[in-house]
Chains A and B, each alone.
Chain A
Amino acid sequence: MRPKLTLLSDEIIARILEEAYELLRCPGVKVQNPEARDLLASAGAIMYPDNNVVGIPAALVHKALESVPREFYLYDYDGNPVVHYGGDSVHFDPGSSGIAMLNPETLEHDTTETEHLLRLIKVAEQIPQYDAQSTAVICHDVPKDIQDSYRLYLALLYSKKPIVTGAFTNKTVQEMIDMLSLFAGSPEAAREKPRAIFDVCPAPPLIWSNFGAGNLIALAKAGIPAEIVSVPLSGAAAPVTMLGTVTQHTAECFAGIVIHQLANPGSPIVWGGAAAIFDMRKGATPMGAVETAMLDCSYAQVAKTLNMPTHTYLGATDSKLVDAQAGLESGISAMVGALSGINMISGSGMLDFLACHSAEKLVIDAEGIAMAKRMVKGVQQHTDTLATGFYDEKINFKGGDFLKQKITMKLFREEQHLPSSIIDRDSTRVWKEAGSLDAFGRAKLRVKELLASYSQPEIAPDKKERINAFMLELAKKAGIEELPGLEETQIA
């Protein structure tokens, strides 16, 4: 009895697909990467050399959909399959690529550096609700040229979980792929049990930039999973209607999958996005808006008719503080994402239109995620009789009767999610004795506990050495002689 949220009828989905094929043909897709254009031209796409627009026939999409994998896994450091991309599996990871982090004491949005990313990784590492890490914030204390690879490097050193990451250029995506290969031992090993997945963004409307398409091709060739993060903005960079936006999203995903599968058929790729409405008062892209969640639920439904693995950006807020708005936007949208059966839901921990991260929000969001996951588990039947079996001869019509049943002890954890100290269910007296804290106050304490209890995972020395040397080499090329001091892992 798994609950599921669907917003679209079969007929509407059929029309979305139909019109998406039409968009691919006319007006077509702007493809700004020469190699991608070559691949498309060789496959029989209609080329308009004047403006780099390509008309993609439906047949090319059909062919790509034949070769694309319908499911795959991301693996942890120990080689366990942890994240299942496919079906209705639901996973969450912290949002990616923030540029600031909420200082819990001053409430300022501090510019992020190495210490901030490490703080987020250490916290997320110990929270079971996060099945994967993300390269959550940009470290401004290293040169631009290595800001993407350096994040991945830190995640590999400080976490055992799978990693959702991304590159900022076509040059660095290759460096990051090489880093993963070095860490895994070989390109084959990195492909066999992929540790990381790369977000790759088309630009709305209907553009695959040189960088986006270049990343798709590099990842496809390496067999490292790619995650399309299509970002249509309803009313600005996409039609104002939800159905129009979802149709554009479908066309952008189709085009990406075609380029990707032409580069290497059978390579894993995910139907994802960070769709949002365009706020007509502020000109902003609200991630916490209910319509944003509705767009994501809708495009996931389209993906599911094609049996594609899915991703989205939910569980974030536009608030600048970890406040009531943050709680309700993050909680509600995480619930929508989970009920939509989206395989990877990124965004937890994030404030301010995905610009700012917060470790405190990350621990609070984990409770919302736990609630969403509990909801998705649904109402289950654990016993042969529903109730009658509970009323045995020991029943004496007292309130505590059921507390004394073995089956209560056996099943209460199945039936109830037991929240962490973030959720307050104390009596007023105990709550007062503990300092009368609000959720943010409790989260600050929990983050401190988690940072104190964190220990760096044991990474095989040879792996460590290989990526240390590799990272240092990249750093030198970028013009610095050493990397910011990392507590335990000094650069060789």
Chain B
Amino acid sequence: MSEELETLFKQMAQSIIDGDSDISVELAQKSIEMNIPPLDAITKGFVVGVNYIGDQFGLGEAFLPELVMAGEAMKAAVATLEPELLKLGEARETMGKVVLATVEGDIHEIGKTLVGTMLSASGFEVTDLGVDQPADKIIGKAIEIGASIVGMSALLTTTMVRQREVIEEMDKEGLRPKIKVMVGGAPITREWATKIKADGYSEDAVGAVKLAKDLVGKGDA
């Protein structure tokens, strides 16, 4: 790798670490002008930064604003590179499609949105339905886009039971195990996830990315 290229990749990673969308977009454009394969820009440049921040967050060294801003900077860079990828006919292989929602009767948003940001930043195609979503909406969307994962959030002990209802409905319609289900939220435990037969649960947004990769069989990516 030329020194210039190496420097560019490093700058790309740094722009994500700094959570600076302006610079990450600028660097993405520069890489297009330099005829760098957009996939290289993503995997050898920007993704390195996302992984770093994710690790730092796990260690307690980085904080939520940094995590979110890194995710946003990543999304912006990828959006800049997307047309180029399409043009070259080598659309970035997505990690999979994910439908995210907070269950019916629950309006808590932040945790789920964080998971969405981190999943997008890690190469998943995320459709975030928002809060207070009934089972039929969530399932309908998953079928419509051909999702590989449904992620459900609940912050209340009174609404977490809705997660089970959605899973039961999906089972009834024969959608599983093709579509995996991950659950999260403050009252959610591993035991609960097992009890309602979800495919996995995570404590935080960084863990959710690892879980989602495992669920789509790309744990090494």
A interface list, Cβ under 8 A from B: 398-400, 403-404, 406, 408-409, 412, 418, 421, 427, 429-430
Contacts and interface: CB of A to CB of B under 8 A. Distances in A.
The 7 A-B residue pairs whose C-beta atoms are closest, nearest first, are: A399-B109, A409-B65, A400-B113, A399-B110, A403-B68, A400-B110, A408-B65
A415 to B, nearest CB: 11
Contacts of A412: 63, 65
Contacts of B114: 400, 403
Given A409-B19, A427-B203, A429-B189, A398 B113 contact: yes
B168 interface: no
B110 A409 contact: no
20 contacts: A398-B113, A399-B108, A399-B110, A400-B113, A400-B114, A403-B64, A403-B114, A404-B69, A406-B19, A406-B69, A408-B65, A409-B19, A409-B66, A409-B69, A412-B63, A418-B63, A421-B60, A427-B203, A429-B190, A430-B203
A429 B19 CA distance: 30
A403 B66 CA distance: 9
Contacts of A403: 64-65, 68, 110, 114
A406 to B, nearest CB: 7
A404 B203 contact: no
Contacts of B109: 398-400
B166 to A, nearest CB: 22
B121 to A, nearest CB: 13
B72 interface: yes
Interface of B: 19, 60, 63-66, 68-69, 72, 108-110, 113-114, 130, 186, 189-190, 203
Contacts of B203: 427, 429-430
Nearest to A413: B63
Contacts of B113: 398-400
**Is the contact region of chain A dominated by helix, strand, or loop, or is it mixed?**
helix
Most-contacted residue by chain A among B65, B69, B114 (CB, 10 A): B65
B47 to A, nearest CB: 20
A421 B186 CA distance: 21
B60 to A, nearest CB: 7
A120 B110 CA distance: 42
Given A427-B186, A427-B203, 18 more contacts: A398-B109, A398-B113, A398-B130, A399-B110, A399-B113, A400-B68, A400-B110, A403-B65, A403-B110, A403-B114, A404-B69, A406-B19, A409-B19, A409-B66, A409-B69, A418-B63, A429-B189, A430-B203
A404 B110 contact: no
Contacts of B190: 429
Contacts of A398: 109, 113, 130
Contacts of A400: 68, 109-110, 113-114
A443 B54 CA distance: 27
Contacts of A404: 68-69, 72
Contacts of B64: 403
Contacts of B186: 427
Contacts of B66: 409
Nearest to B114: A400
Nearest to A410: B65
B188 to A, nearest CB: 9
A59 B130 CA distance: 77
A316 B64 CA distance: 35
Most-contacted residue by chain B among A400, A408, A429 (CB, 10 A): A400
Nearest to B109: A399
Most-contacted residue by chain B among A398, A403, A427, A430 (CB, 10 A): A403
Nearest to B102: A399
A189 B127 CA distance: 68
Contacts of B110: 399-400, 403
Contacts of B68: 400, 403-404
Nearest to B71: A404
A70 B183 CA distance: 63
A427 B185 CA distance: 11
A67 B45 CA distance: 64
A399 B106 CA distance: 13
A423 B168 CA distance: 40
Contacts of B63: 412, 418
Contacts of B130: 398
Contacts of A421: 60
A430 B204 CA distance: 11
Nearest to A409: B65
B165 to A, nearest CB: 23
Nearest to B64: A403
Nearest to A428: B189
Contacts of B65: 403, 408-409, 412
B194 to A, nearest CB: 14
B132 to A, nearest CB: 12
A412 B65 CA distance: 8
Nearest to A411: B65
A421 B61 CA distance: 11
Contacts of A399: 108-110, 113
A229 B146 CA distance: 76
Nearest to B130: A398
Contacts of B19: 406, 409
Most-contacted residue by chain B among A398, A409, A421 (CB, 10 A): A409
A408 B68 CA distance: 10
Most-contacted residue by chain A among B60, B110, B114 (CB, 10 A): B110
B116 to A, nearest CB: 9
B189 to A, nearest CB: 6
A222 B93 CA distance: 76
A32 to B, nearest CB: 56
Contacts of A427: 186, 203
A212 B221 CA distance: 71
Contacts of A430: 203
Most-contacted residue by chain A among B68, B189, B190 (CB, 10 A): B68
A155 to B, nearest CB: 31
Nearest to B108: A399
A429 B63 CA distance: 20
Nearest to A412: B65
B127 to A, nearest CB: 15
A427 to B, nearest CB: 7
Contacts of B69: 404, 406, 409
B207 to A, nearest CB: 11
Contacts of A406: 19, 69
